[in-house]
Amino acid sequence: MSEASQNFSNPEPPLAFALPLLFCPLLVLAWIYGGVVLLLAPAFGYVIVSIVDFIIGENRKNQIDVASDTGKYKLILFAWPLIQFFLLFGSIISICWFNHLTALEAFILMSVQGMITGAVGITFAHELMHQKTKLERFLADVLMAMAIYGHFRTEHVFVHHRYVGTKKDAVTARFNESFYTFFLRVIPQCFISAWSVEAQKLATKNKSTFNLANPFYTYAALASLFVLLSFIIGGTWGVTLFSIQALVAILHLEVVNYIEHYGLSRKKISENKYEPTKPHHSWNANHAASNLLLINLQKHSDHHARPSKTYPTLSAYDEESAPQLPFGYPVMVVFSLIPFLWRRVMNPKVIKWRKQFYPEVEEWTSLS
């Protein structure tokens, strides 16, 4: 395995992954002052982290699995639902109960809140939904409900991980597909595929699709609870504010989905069978600072190859084993929103990936 250089070490200490907590004081300052202070959180998440990535470069060390046995790395995962609840509804209260922010400032504040919900909350939810305990999966549902996107857990665990790199996976972005086309395609397709999976699971137990065991009831109940709370705080204006941040959070989620597998395909072995998912079926990024902010989400190659691994133990694959993004997610998100720039940067990399891992394949439409 060309996993970096077989250079194993202990994972970064748990405190290193507490970087997202810096969003808390930045958002509170935005509540109080508004104006340019509203831009501090996105400046930190996108600009400062990217600059630090450039300065300190990549962390290509592979982590020792035993370190994940300690619960210290889960503390921030367990704490974040409460923290995000405070941030989200604190933002709505600061707008609805005080009159110091203009309508434009309110929109920007909730967009910034949506950035935090999407970039941090959904990233943490992603980690939690892969765990075995009901508590962890419930906390994932709570975080996803704040984006009104609970069905993501079903779709991600039971559809995406099974069919990644194939036409059966809506979330695998097609070669040359723009993010905007991708977004309009995946929103309905992911909901439909998630509903179908849960219906099939219930059918195997001789239960109706509308049986209370269907997790869509949980998804809907939690989202409704948060919408109701928003209404209690600020009426229809409160619901509007909640919806703005939810939409921005969903955009953050799906733009990352777009980046993670763009143009990559698994080889079809037979009519209904594909080769196993390997590290080279996901774009990988070993950039140190952004991986701390996103609890190693960018080490996506190892996550798909071994989805049971916890975030501090994900390994850093090199270019011999997995395709590499030129920058961390903060920069790649910006690129993905500019289709001509995205294609100029990424299409040559996809073509290089094809020649590197599938030199024998001439017709690519047959792969996915």
- State how far the Cα of 11 lies from the Cα of 66, in Å rounded to an integer: 10
Q: Is the pLDDT of residue 361 over 90?
A: no
The pair of structure tokens assigned to 75 is: 């503390």
- Residue 297 CA to residue 318 CA, distance in Å, equals 16
Residue 362 clears pLDDT 90, i.e. is over it = no
User: Residue 114 in contact with residue 254, Cβ under 8 Å?
Assistant: no
CA separation for the pair 293, 280 (Å, rounded): 23
267 or 20, which is more confident: 20
What letter represents residue 312's amino acid?
P
Is the pLDDT confidence value at 62 over 80? no
- Residue 9, classed as helix, strand or coil, is strand
- Rounded distance between C-alpha atoms, residue 160 and residue 138, angstroms: 20
| H/E stretch holding 269 | strand 268-270
**C-alpha to C-alpha distance for 256 and 171, rounded to whole angstroms:** 10
Q: Is the pLDDT of residue 36 over 90?
A: yes
pLDDT attached to residue 4: 44
Tell me the pLDDT band of 12, cut-offs 50, 70 and 90: confident
How far is C-alpha 130 from the chain's CA centre?
Answer: 13
Which spans in the chain are helix H?
A: 23-33, 40-42, 49-56, 75-96, 103-116, 122-129, 134-145, 152-155, 161-163, 179-203, 216-261, 288-293, 300-305, 329-336, 339-357
**pLDDT of 368 strictly over 90:** no
Q: What is the pLDDT of residue 58?
A: 87
Q: Using an 8 Å Cβ cutoff, are 233 and 92 in contact?
A: yes
Question: What pLDDT band is residue 70 in, cutting at 50, 70 and 90?
Answer: low
Q: For residue 68, is pLDDT > 90? A: no
Q: Report the 10 Å Cβ neighbour count for 363.
A: 6
The half-sphere exposure of 335 on its side-chain side, counting CA atoms within 13 A, is 19
Sequence-separated (6 or more) residues with CB below 8 Å from residue 204: none
Distances (CA, A) of 185 to 42, 121, 257, 350: 27, 23, 13, 21
Residue 163 has pLDDT above 80, yes or no: yes
Mean pLDDT of 313-322: 91
Report, as an integer, the average pLDDT of 27-53.
97
Which residue, 251, 280, 254, 250, is CA-closest to 265? 280
178-193 CB burial, b ≥16 within 10 A, e <16: bbeebbebbeeebbeb
pTM: predicted TM-score of the whole model, two decimal places? 0.93
The answer to whether residue 215 scores a pLDDT higher than 80 is: yes
pLDDT tens by residue, 222-241: 999 999 999 999 999 999 99
pLDDT tens digits for 186-200?
999 999 999 999 999
Low-confidence winner among 58-62, 175-179, 270-274, 305-309 (lowest mean pLDDT): 58-62
Lowest mean pLDDT among 2-6, 294-298, 312-316: 2-6
Q: What phi and psi values does residue 63 have, to the nearest 5 degrees?
A: -95, 150
Gap between the Cα atoms of 306 and 296, Å rounded: 14
Residue linked to tokens 């723009």: 178
